[in-house]
Structure 1
């Protein structure tokens, strides 16, 4: 009985894990950047792309939803890296309705699809050309994580080894604070 119980539990727990789709993990061959498509849009129409970034706004139309995204570099799994450089903005065109609360500003999104064309819209008073991607697969990563913050201990706390603890590579660049 134990021979069947443990593999069944492992299979059930493994099935609950969220899986990133293959088109999101692996870029298509010859994946152009947002900047390349903005410079020569008609040449790339119909090309397969995998882009990602941070959502700025969601606009629901009659039968489609346009999600405006500030592009970011993607890591090896297709996740947008926080703090990385941006090639520009693009519009992810989803079929049907997308809830603006779920896909809210600040959420990280990766899409895979084909380039449909371009749209010129204002950002403030600047006229900006957005490449439009017809989305076939998408993955919502959530908001950017807060950076880790390490504060020094308060002055009444005394630890002679903070922040360096004895170990094989023990060294103290400065003497510990004294009372």
Structure 2
């Protein structure tokens, strides 16, 4: 039984290590944070949508930058790599691209823009986006765990229980 469990664990770890970015997000990009780039550099950045501003001919996303994982999805962490703006022609519905959703963008650095964050003047790096990739919301799934101690029971109980994990799906918008 332990050989089967070990084999399954090894196979799952090997598959997890082979994560690749979705096809629209693949390519060669500068490995730089939003505050350390030059105009004209090609970048692949991601993060959490703060807001979407729609103009007559384009939409601009204000994004809280996060580091990306091996599949180019933003990592869920308590820190950020700053903020950036990603603009692309067309209309992106703010009811779909709502605050808190995760996106990854690819594009070229096209200068910067000074905006207010509260009373603070913040300089946003602007990306002329080629791709705006909207990730599906993370879903919590439960799976059985053979041994789990629940400290909230009146008595210690060892035995089958359930542990919640996050499951990732992807959705894209080009």
1:80 aligns with 2:74: yes
Write the mapping of 1:1-179 to structure 2, written as runs, cut at 5 A: 21-28=22-29, 30-37=30-37, 44-83=38-77, 85-143=79-137, 152=150, 154-155=153-154, 159=157, 161-162=158-159
Q: 1:147 to 1:53 in 2, by over 3 A?
A: farther
RMSD: 2.9
Runs of 4+ in 1 over 6 A off after TM superposition: none
> What's the secondary structure of 1:50's corresponding residue?
strand
Higher strand share: 2
The number of aligned residues is 136
Gaps spanning 5+ residues in structure 1: where?
1-18, 38-43, 164-179
Q: 1:47 to 1:101 in 2, by over 3 A?
A: same
- Cα displacement string for residues 5-56 of structure 1 (whole angstroms, at most 9, x for unaligned residues): xxxxxxxxxxxxxx9643524452x33211213xxxxxx1111000000000
- Preserved contact between residue 25 and residue 105 of structure 2 (Cα < 8 Å): yes
- Displacement, 1:138? 2.3
Higher helix share: 1
Structure showing greater Rg? 1
Gaps spanning 5+ residues in structure 2: where?
1-19, 143-147, 161-174
TM-score (norm 1): 0.66
